[in-house]
Structure 1
Amino acid sequence: MIELASFVRKVAPLEWAFLGIEPGLRVMQHLVEGDGTISPMRLTAAVAAAARVHRGVRLIRHEDRWVDSGVAPLVRVLEADSLDPARLDAPALRAPFDELTATCEVLLVPGSPSTVVFRADHAVMDGRGLLMWARDVFRALRGEDPMGAPDDDGIEELLRRLHPDGEPPRAGDRGLSFRSLLGPRPREQEGLLWRRRTVDGTHLAATSKVAAAVAAAHGPGRFHIPVDLRRHLPDLRSTAALSHAVDLEVEAGDGWEQVQSRLLAALADHRDLAGGTDPAIMELPLPMLREGIAHLDRTAADADRYSGRACVSHLGTVDPDDFSADGFRATAVYALGGMTPGGPPEIGLVELPGRTEITVSWYDGPDVAARADALLDTVEEALSPRANRRWAGNRLGQPLPGEESVVRLFREQVERTPHRTALSGPEGEVSYLELSRRADAVAAELRRLGAGPGTVVGLLAGRTVASIAGLWGVLRAGACYLPLDVRHPDRRLSELLTDAGSTLCLVEAPHQERNCFPAGCRMLPLDALAADGAPADDPRPDDAETHPGDLAYVIYTSGSTGRPKGVQIEHRNLLNYVHWATREFDIDADTCMPLLTSPSFDVSGTSVFLPLLTGGEVVLMRDDPQHLSLRRLLTGTRANALNLTPSHLDLIGGLDIAPDGYRSVVVVGEQLRVEVAARAQEMFGPKCRIINLYGPTEATIGCTAHTYDEETDAEGTVVPIGLPADNTTVFLLDAERRFVAPGEVGEMYLGGAQLARGYLGRPDLDRERFPRLADGTRVYRTGDLARVLPSGELQFVGRIDDQIKIRGHRVEPAEVARALEEHPAVDRAVVVPRAAIGHNSKALYGYVLVNRAVGTRELTAHLAERLPAHMVPAALVVVPELPYTVSGKVDVRALPDPAGSEPDGRVHGAPRAAFFADPLAEAVAGTWARTLGVERSRLDGQCDFHRLGGDSLSLLAMLAGVGRELLDTAAEEAFMARLPDILREPTLERVTALVRQACIEATGV
């Protein structure tokens, strides 16, 4: 005799009907897959905690009553290999409940992935109720208080509340009219079969799209659409079975829009409330009811006729965070349905951010699995057409010429050409053998200090022989290098070394006294280590064994969270790029390529690795690129290939020279405009290829490329970014992570062999920026928008956020704003990219709310101590308040003009007449106006070039224009020697004064 607990509720007619179904067929199950582990003890405690506030999970049947057993559901731990997520044929999933002893339980399946299975008898719970309970179990696992389900009403009580003036309407007999989608069910019971498919994206009207697709593929019919009746009482928290099915008739030619319209009309008419079960069913004893249902099922099986074409059950959208806890991160949530008397197969849908889980449930039997997979193909095609998912431009499976690491490839190149020139520049020429000996000396010292795989070694050096030797020395030691820009402020360098956990840093002599080495990071004098290298008669030290998955380098990029993030590039990533780019850019032993960019900019890898692994030569350019140094490079060295940004290429286009013998110019880092490419093609000649390379740091230097074509590219404004590299994939997805149709704009998700390991020490960002597609493909979400052109190549379109490129470097405005807010006078800062005055490009502008008087020069100096120069805004503006939109976001359009225009349209209001009476000042002002694209009348002597929106490269373009138009060669050299003075005070008046002084120095007049 069962002692009745405090709670007793009469079994509802619908629940009695479910009790008539064979127990093994009426079990509802939600599976939560995830990375990590959950201990059985923790899970058991969490289930018990949730059960205390979920009476519905403790119910057992006593005759025609549900009673509270007071006992929490059982937690069972299965063997790690007992559940195959692909087949879902574990016996534990088919096990029935005895409603006299338990109606819910939890299964824990450790492994990879780990899986938690929530199971409930459909007589006491529906799919939404099961989700409610599962969420609370995970709340308890996280140490949070479960929300509970205090409402005890079953479906009859709910219907009476919704129909207070009369009896709820009852559904009529559906009849058995439709053949099964999956073939006749076997007469002899073989249990249930489930198949699963994951589809990318979340899909508007997914239920209607599925129904329309199934009707088109299998003929018209009736579709059962379960509807959660809690929608009528949104505050209701009950786990009971509170769902009714709405029936929709769908014709074979119906579009999903028509089906959706009918479904919405049915919900508006409250047809979901007409699904109540006739109370007379309670008069049938369970044995008689079960025999009647069994007879109905046998009749359906014999005739292969069922009550509908399919049951399409959509459980809505779930958040993986709700099903995660310490040590366990949910990656998928999906449902396995049961069967109803004479009912059709069930198609279950659950949406998660960026993906939709689909399952099919039916009776097991011969060929059912194959037919279920074919049905899933139909559903997948309806939601995610194959034509959108498959792009011919993705070239996977391309064999590499070899599997040796770049370390081994460089050693072999040294052995082939020991006396060939590897490096040239201000320090003279360095042979492959000498560079190798210097690298060996660095490697030997690093190994002596314990460096090896996983060790991040800082490299603070410029474009010098020692820097290249240090790079190869780190790689030969088996460690990975962290390139640091010598122009960055000490605080920035210290933060990067700390974040990377670097205990060793190779440092050139000019920087060894800097205050940038955190505690625990040992400074190693790079010049001394690499000065002479290992003696020629010493046996070379063996290179550390390098595995494809070892790190080669870590490079930091700007962070949207306010912190820079370290991108981890493995040897396998680098090797794929080297082999592809060497072929794509036509690099060989005759290639002589300058190193123009900072080693901390990942595109420098093109200039370093490609020539040195083919017997070519690297020209080291000590000075930063500007028009004079670029002219000397192009006309006074052996260089015959270039690797540079579009801005630098644009600067070269203004030089009055005709470089000879160039074979390729690789342009990377920013959008390449057609006019810049066309001018470069004319300058370098028809035999030189102008190659537009695209690729974020996270995809190893460059991952798509296009060679400029004067005929086909002239029609556009920007040069296409081309086709992916070997073994690299590009997918275009929309905001809901659905594949876009050919020709439509989508965000670029990159995959394949060059995809970085992730961000150093940032698993949160890895989850956000390196998701997996439905088929398991790991990708990088770029934030870049692109489309596939009719030619089959990619065209870059823009960004989905505020990130901009400055001098080829990514800049996240949030990181700049955070640095501004570290100033004690700043209460709030907003940094936005906006069009520079008269420019097509964008620049950064900062707006600050302050708590005391502070000058913008002080704030700029504050930023200069913390950020690289390219991240310091072109102008800072102190504002009394920030304008907001109705949605609570800063209204960028309402922010004041950073140039501070006066009513007469001038940028400043200082007296002008005397200054512009000078013809030289008038000429310099004309150059400014043409460079910046502003009206000449807006300028006066106090104009600041940067405040007008000019960046460092447009400043160089302006200086080149001044030199070309106003100065002879000697005067131009004298003028450019004062570049540091110009950078400190880039006003029109100051530049004019320096031009005059240069003329005097050059001529003595």
Structure 2
Amino acid sequence: MHDDLETRPTADSARAPRLPLSPAQERLWYLEQIAAGAPVHHVFAATLVEGPLDADRLAAALRNCVRRHELLRSTFDDRGDGPRRTVRATAEVPLRRLDLGDGTTSEARLRDVLAEESARPFAFDHGPALRATLVRDGEERHVLLLTAHRIVADRASLTVLESELSAHYAALSGGTEQLPRHSPSYTELVVPEGEGSGEELGYWQEKVQGSAPLDLPLDRARPRTPSHRATLRGLLLAPRHADALRRLAREEDATAWAVTAAAFAVLLTRWTGRPDVVFATPVDRRPPSAARTAFGPYADLLLLRVDLTGRPSLREAVRRVARTRDEAERHAGVPFGRLVQLLGPERDLSRHPLCQAVFALTGAVRTGFTAAGLTTSALTLDDATVPYDLGCTVTDDDDGADGGLGVELRLASDLWLPESADRMTSALRTLLTALAENPDRRIGDVPLLSPEDRARIEARNATDRPLPEPVTVDGLFRAWADRTPQALALTDRTGTWTYAQLRDRAGRVGRALIAAGVTQDSVVALHMRRSADLVTGMLGVLLAGGAPLVLDPGHPEERLRYTAVDADISAVLSRAEPPTWLHGLGVPVLGLNDAERAPATGPACQGPPAAGPLPPARSHPLGLAAVVHTSGSTGRPKAVGIPHRAVVRLITVTDYVSIGPGDVLLHLGDPAFDITAFEVWGALCNGARVEVLPGDEPLGPDEVLAALRELRPTIVALTGTLFNRVTDIDPRAFGGLRHLFVVGEVMDPRRTRAVLHGGAPPDHLHNGYGPSENATFSTTHLVDRLPEDAPRVPIGSALANTTLHVLDQELRPVPIGVTGELYVGGLGVARGYLGRPGHTAERFLPDPFAARPGALMYRTGDLVRMLPDGALDFLGRADQQVKIRGYRIEPGEVETALLVRDDVRECVVRAVDVAGDRRLVAYVVPAPGRRPSPPELLGALRGRLPSHMVPGHVVLLDALPTTPSGKIDARALPGYAEGAADRPDTVAPRTATERALWEIWADALRVRSFGVHDSFFLLGGHSLLASVVRTSVRERLGVTLPLRTLFDVPTLAGLAVEVERVTAEAATARASEEADDDTAQLDGLVAELERLAESRRAEGRAGGTG
């Protein structure tokens, strides 16, 4: 019979019943074990059928189709030899029938039902991985839904299945429609394909290993296991623009794919700030001879690395994308699954391997199911899932009535907020429109910032506020001294001074400096440690019209000498006997001895005169108020000249902090750095008091805790390192503060949450950001809450009279949410680098956004992005990215991955040269009472970061070295012997479980030299080997573990603990079951005895009445 002939199974009976999987199937099988039932790997086809459909006949046609395809009769399992496929002679795919009533069901309810059906999980070991559902929605209205797992079918396969259903349905109806001829089976077509040539593998190895991961700015911390939920956004490109893009494709002898993919590539480039991006595009690996009949998971991904360096035009971007695809297709013999195995083994469950973005061009979806007397049409369903970070699908239905282009973006909901999806969609529309209207425009010239967002940014920069007169630091102090002469101004362990007393003491210093030749903008060095005398001296310098430069005697003499000469100092103030080298500078040296001043030696030096009136005001708003040195890329510090206006902007008309009489500001920062402007002048220019911690003692967390308890300050600024160390000891220590600022370093989210939720947070907790070149703070962020999924603490918004510009490499504003470099403008910008006009011109640029003539903006070198609420998110240094084996790496991202661990207290990551090889090294301080091993830490990083970002070495330290200002001193990090860091003393297996697991690992990994703290993945393990270990553990130890266990506890010691835990729980469960059985048996015996006793009593009663 015709039907018998056409529904026979393909010739699989001659083959072994258990078949190997293709690389694509292996990966899908593994992913299913990790997150069983995730619908992200389902494909479906829905057809609206109107007319007299015979459901029984459709079910029979479905049975015939299942007999026809071996994949629909297959099950998948792992019996210790790796995942395999078993082909059954018969299998049943029932037609599930749902009745929604008489046709009054809402469209939303119908789609909900279809979505629920398409999302139901499959059981690989029972099969089949296909489901058919017929939903009745009226008398002659049905929806046929076919759902399959990608391990057996791709979307094109469902169209093949629909066509075969049509033919079988017609044949069962008595029709004569010819059924499609059999094509070779999936195994016959895929297995001979092989793994590609050596030349192809070499090509991909170079492409993949030399590229950086797609570093899209994310709104949320990447979860350990993604949910795969998607945020969907769509747009329709007008027909005239769609026609223009098709015309461009013809002009360039390119495809519509190349034109639209070019827009996507430019979007990725602009969004990441990098011209070299990697994404993938779906390809169909069906052989041309079976393009319409082959059934199976032939859909694959083709990796594309697109280079858009050199400011190309949009047209040139099309050409480069087209060439990239042509080149990739010439090396397409290696399936994507095989590339994953060879180049990017899946050790990180949080991200898609090798690529994080996928672009596809498709035609309109059409149903393959048709039948005489029935009207059919395809239904589109929004499954709202995405297996990667970002997906883009362009639908080009050139035959359609509208002639437009439909575009859909899918963003991982775990990673992005809806507002980011909106902005990315708007930007893509702008790029496609620009490509249609002016393809010869340079890609960087296309404005992606929407008018609405531009207006929002401009509004955020409307920060102008009038500064109080006089706009000088010493002038504001004079005013408070006149207003509140008896109020306390300054205290340290040696004494207390009122505003009047401090004015008199500083006045004497000022007159002495004037007598020594100090005039406006003269730089005066103060060779003394942090103390009340230092504050007095700095104020005296300002009263003389000069600019104080602090030389901390604790710093190396060579650096101090360089600093003094570089700043071209005019005089020196010294608290104690000045060192000999100061006299060799050829400038006046004045000595200070506690409260009394005595003349010292030096040219034109005269002792300070007796108390008298203050010198007349000599300062100017643009005159120098301070000189601080900042390190640079040359390794030689540069003198930053900070004007009075910048400091007044910092400490008055403040919209981020209120300072006034009654406040006590703790001066504990390094006085040689710009935080002094906030700690000292913030108090003395607002009627508050400065409490000085002595600078001749080490400043650590114990000293800070003691100061908080005993001195009771109201406002404190701590470096990130000190904040972390104090928080680790007592997160409630800041409860008495009105304001706590964390400055100078990245604010740690974990410690921040500990303070916020510890029961005694400060009234106001701030994250303060700003370079010295912008007078201490450019932005602050009030941290009153921090979501658990927040990857970082924002650095906030601009201070009054400060402007912020997030710009691309061509100094154009980037869209909200997009990475750019931060430029800071406004009244806080420094005058430049003293004596270095070249360096000044490089970093202090004319501000094109300012209305004030001659305004400058400072190029910070910091990468940031603006969040939807207007706050800035700090992403790292543009010039701190390091290159390791061709990859660009941001060390801060590695540090963040380490700091989320409870056993890590502090860390810093640096690139170092070891025997001529550039390597990434992590210096780690363990948490108190913890001692994680280097392999354990590296193994954990393998689970969170791409392999190229995992350091080659870990060095454990008792403490990180710090500079006098409390920041990490990277130059003082210890060296290490090559190889000593990544091979500590190997710990041999100590228990029977560890010994058994050691043998299992050795067999799977084919290595023998490792210990219980080594990471499975560092030893060469990957996802497929993890499944081998899981099977061996089940067979040898009788314990069944989830496949993801090795990713959560990648060390042998950790795995042994997990095995013993599961074993103990199983034993407890068995004992409980046995006890329940014993109880049940006892209950049964008691019941039986009671029945017997009752029976005998009944017999007795009967005998008594006879």
Pick the TM interval, shorter chain.
Answer: 0.3 to 0.5
Report the TM-score, using the length of structure 2 for normalisation.
0.41
Report the TM-score, using the length of structure 1 for normalisation.
0.45
